[in-house]
Homo-oligomer: A and B are copies of this chain.
Amino acid sequence: MNPSAAVLTEPFFGDHQGGILTGTQRSTVVGAFDVATDERKDLAGLLQRWTALGAQLTAGETVPIPTEELSGDTPSSTDSLEAYGLGPSRLTLTIGFGKSLFEDAEGRDRFKLAHHRPPALIDLPAFSGDALVADDSDGDVFLQACADDPQVAFHAIRSLARVAPDVAILRWTQSGFSGGNQAGTPRNLMGFKDGTMDSNLHPPDDLDATLWAGTEGPGWMRGGSYLVYRRIRIDLQRWDQETVSEQEQVIGRDKLNGAPLGTAEEFSALDLDAQDAEGNLAIPLLAHVRLAAPATNHGAVIVRRAFSYDNGTIPQGASRAALDKSAVYDAGLLFLAYQKDPRKAFVPIFSKLADTDSLNKFSLHTASGLFAVPPGARGPGDWVGRLLVD
Binding site for B on A (CB under 8 A): 1-3, 5-6, 26, 29, 31, 34, 36, 65, 74-87, 89, 135-136, 148-152, 154, 158, 162, 165, 169-175, 177-184, 187-192, 236-237, 240-244, 246, 255-256, 308, 310-313, 315-316, 325-329, 331
Contact = CB atoms under 8 A, between A and B. Distances in A.
Copies of this chain, whole number: 2
- In the A-B complex, the 9 residue pairs with the smallest Cβ-Cβ separation, listed nearest first, are A81-B191, A2-B2, A151-B179, A135-B315, A1-B180, A150-B177, A170-B327, A170-B326, A175-B310
Contact of A179 (B36, B86, B256, B326): B86
A313 B2 CA distance: 31
B179 A150 contact: yes
Contacts of A310: 29, 150, 154, 173, 175
A326 B165 contact: yes
Given A149-B180, A175-B312, A316-B171, A77 B2 contact: no
Given A6-B180, A77-B244, A243-B75, A327 B172 contact: yes
Contacts of A331: 154
20 contacts: A1-B180, A2-B2, A6-B180, A65-B240, A81-B191, A81-B256, A83-B179, A84-B191, A85-B181, A85-B184, A135-B315, A136-B312, A151-B187, A158-B329, A162-B240, A169-B316, A170-B313, A170-B329, A173-B310, A174-B312
Nearest to A231: B312
Contacts of A243: 75-77
Contacts of A242: 75, 77
Given A26-B1, A150-B310, A173 B329 contact: yes
A76 B190 CA distance: 16
Nearest to A323: B165
A169 B148 CA distance: 34
Contacts of A154: 189, 308, 310, 331
A201 B82 CA distance: 18
B325 A236 contact: no
B241 A77 contact: yes
A266 B85 CA distance: 16
B182 A3 contact: yes
Given A171-B316, A243-B75, A6 B82 contact: no
Nearest to A65: B240
B240 A172 contact: no
A297 to B, nearest CB: 27
Contacts of A183: 85
Given A85-B181, A158-B240, 11 more contacts: A1-B1, A75-B241, A75-B243, A80-B190, A81-B192, A82-B187, A85-B183, A89-B180, A135-B315, A135-B316, A151-B179
Contact of A177 (B65, B151, B179): B151
Contacts of A36: 325
In this complex, the member of A150, A175, A308 whose beta carbon has the largest number of chain B beta carbons within 10 angstroms is: A150
Nearest to A245: B75
